[in-house]
Structure 1
């Protein structure tokens, strides 16, 4: 199995389960997306301890929906599991249904197929993140819906399900959670999914052993140094006021075994300069392909342009901050994670700008793309083909079956909840 269920398929399957098992499962609408699509919350069990799982936070990461569906099926098969832990488990089926419908990638387990249909909104259109201090924009309707659910439930644990294209698995904790790190590593090892020795995410986060990052005390009140994302604005940290611990569970689509290598690197700063130069060089290749071509206004263009504009700051951040106590690039595994990240950012930018150019050529008036626009789209696709092939060969990227990705997320969640209930 290599296909993920679409958001609509997940909703239909969960609705059937709820209709067949009304004493165990309930489904209700908790809000609407910006385009008017319903946001559905599934609730299972009747215990006094609430747990929340959020799927579909990022448009390009469809594994969460499959994991939520499998979780519901497990509860149907063994409803006593929830009762024995005095637990009611809630799951938001898809936080960003609008974005999910724009991402059309993955025609088979192919990196190129995935990126030809790639879409991930720009930062201000990602509902898992909230406006910061001084930002005049209101929260997205999807964000308001999630905050409302968190205010209502005040869950013991909030799980946020994510998937990274190439690399390994890891978890991020907003506060200490006894047994969580070991539970994650045990499950990943049993499934033969590599964990990232030190992911490049969360430069300011603490390392609680291989594959586990923890937000430092007071981190939810501070801005991260990495300009590509600010954790003080995340809905991960929002429910800390209720004592909720948020756990971000990342499952790789393509596994790169080298991310687990604990071998120390002699000169992490030199490694970061190298990947920073690689990032900037590839951004220049994308910019060269777009030279003289008007950028059409579209969600794809806005997201690609943000990456092109912010990535130079990301490279500076890596060089200035990461060689300290964060552990970034301090091991061969972390250096591999950084090398993948340096390649991923320009690949995403090229993919979405190509889609923007192609969409421009298919307007309602039926006019064809200009020769220059069509040439730019072809040049970007050539870069994508080259870079996807490099990722596959240089990092030995191997497709992780969807069933394995789902097993990783569902088992990690269940093990953490069971440990917290003991």
Structure 2
């Protein structure tokens, strides 16, 4: 496997599985996206207990479709090496793509990351990630119920899964897992699988800065009364689709695997000067954001209006305060650094994870803006495109060199994610 499958290819492969295993597999429509695209779910097995898998919740994270197919094939073929894959005991329900509209706007990301030597430049020019209010898993947190969110909530209420697995990529770094409830038996098989595949386990991550961290790469959502809950993501995170299975005693595992591994992702030595590093990273994300926004401001008058352009909405959202929001989130860490407090986020690995975030944000915006400038014939667009392309190219090079990025083969990403989901299912079923 040298590239990720497209949404259309995943759907066609699921239909073939139904034809090959008509007694084991069913494909049904669980809803319709905002733009009228079908939301399809492949169910495999007939067991009374359910494991729910959600692929492609973020359109710029393409690994989930391939992992979904690998899981479905294994269960459909009658693999009983694990209680989790016994089709008479467990039904696997796999949402093939939760955000097909976003995936359509990331069309080309599969080709852009294909082959043995994918580049950041090709990836960020093809990738699209919607604003938070248009991300199906997170939109309910800000009070918006998208049809995709409603469809997923309905499936959770219908199936009452013991485990929900949300399949994610991180652009650069190591692998990690976020849990809404502890699965104590997961850490050992997860670490063994990552080690066997040569993928570093991320020590410290921006996504779970203040989550409980019982084992390397394993993060558990803090209790509702935690004073760090806001920093963990949102004080309203319980409204997300991640937490919905808790109503029925279920757990959600968010499984992250990297497109590119960073050299220091698993380096747990204390960073020599974390306070200075955090100041530098805050300045990096603010300055990169300022430079992209300056080009965006010059192009506003001839770009498509935000109400008709999801990429324009992302650029407006980022220009508004996102860069400052990211930088400001690190202030408590800077305070910890000054007090010599022990924290995974202050190790060499933890600081490198924050560097990924600092470098990623301006690149995401620049990639989207370059696409919009490519699509317009306004006389001013060529000069702005040239100006921004120079920044974009420099930032990609600095990102690759600073963190010593190496591409993780697609088959290795899929194998790690598949093994992790199966291990999590075994743990959840045994609770």
Is the Cα contact below 8 Å between 2:205 and 2:345 reproduced in 1?
Answer: no
Q: In the alignment, which residue of structure 2 is the partner of 1:307?
A: 318
Shift of 1:62: 0.8
- Corresponding position of 1:149: 155
Whether 1:95 and 2:107 are equivalent positions in the alignment is no
Is 1:17 paired with 2:25? no
The counterpart of 1:337, out of the listed 341, 345, 353, is: 353
Distance 2:12 2:428 in 1: 32
Which residue of the partner structure matches residue 365 of structure 1?
Answer: none
Distance change >3 Å, CA 2–CA 50, structure 1 → 2: same
Q: Describe the shift of the 1:41–1:32 C-alpha distance in structure 2 as closer, same or farther (beyond 3 A).
A: same
Q: Residue 354 of structure 1 is aligned with which of 364, 370, 383?
A: 370
Alpha-carbon distance between aligned partners in 1 of 2:296 and 2:98, rounded to the nearest angstrom: 33
Maintained 8 Å contact 1:251/1:408: yes
The answer to whether the 8 Å contact 1:169/1:196 transfers is yes
Written as runs of structure 1 = structure 2, the 5 A alignment for 1:380-399 is: 380-399=388-407
Structure 2 residue matching 1:131: 3-state secondary structure: helix
Contact 2:207 2:233 in 1 (8 A): no
Give unpaired runs (5+ residues) of structure 1: 362-367
Q: State how far apart, in whole Å, the 1-side matches of 2:136 and 2:227 are.
A: 19
CA distance in 1 between counterparts of 2:237 and 2:97 reads 21
1 CA distance for matches of 2:173 and 2:381? 33
User: Structure 1 residues 145, 102: CA separation in 2 closer, same or farther (over 3 Å shift)?
Assistant: same
User: Alignment partner of 2:52: what SS?
Assistant: strand
Q: Distance in 2 between matches of 1:99 and 1:220?
A: 33
Note the C-alpha offset of 1:355.
1.6
Deviations 1:296-326 (A, max 9, x none): 3221111122123212022112113575479
Match of 1:373 in 2: 381
Whether contact under 8 Å (1:289, 1:376) holds in the other structure is yes
Larger mean Cα displacement after TM superposition, 225-234 or 191-200: 225-234
**Aligned: 1:26 with 2:26:** yes
| Matching of residue 125 in structure 1 with residue 134 in structure 2 | yes
Which residue in 2 is equivalent to 1:203? 209
For residues 194 and 99 of structure 1, what CA distance do their matches in structure 2 show?
Answer: 29
Question: What's the C-alpha RMSD, in Å, of the aligned pairs?
Answer: 2.3
* C-alpha displacement of 1:288: 2.9
Give the alignment's TM-score, normalised by structure 2. Answer: 0.89
Contact 2:333 2:346 in 1 (8 A): no
How far apart, CA to CA, are the structure 2 residues paired with 1:93 and 1:19? 17
TM-score, normalised via structure 1 length: 0.91
Contact 2:46 2:88 in 1 (8 A): no
Question: Which residues in structure 2 correspond to 1:9-408 (within 5 Å)?
Answer: 9-81=9-81, 82-83=85-86, 86-103=89-106, 104-105=108-109, 106-107=111-112, 108=114, 109-132=118-141, 135=143, 137=144, 139-218=145-224, 224-225=230-231, 231-294=237-300, 295-297=303-305, 298-309=309-320, 310-320=322-332, 324=336, 327=343, 329-359=345-375, 361=376, 368-370=377-379, 372-408=380-416
CA contact (8 A) 2:72 2:92 kept: no
Cα offsets for 1:148-190 (capped at 9, x unmatched)? 0000011001000000111111000111112122222111111
Q: What's the secondary structure of 2:298's corresponding residue? A: coil
Structure 2 distance, partners of 1:287, 1:420, is: 46
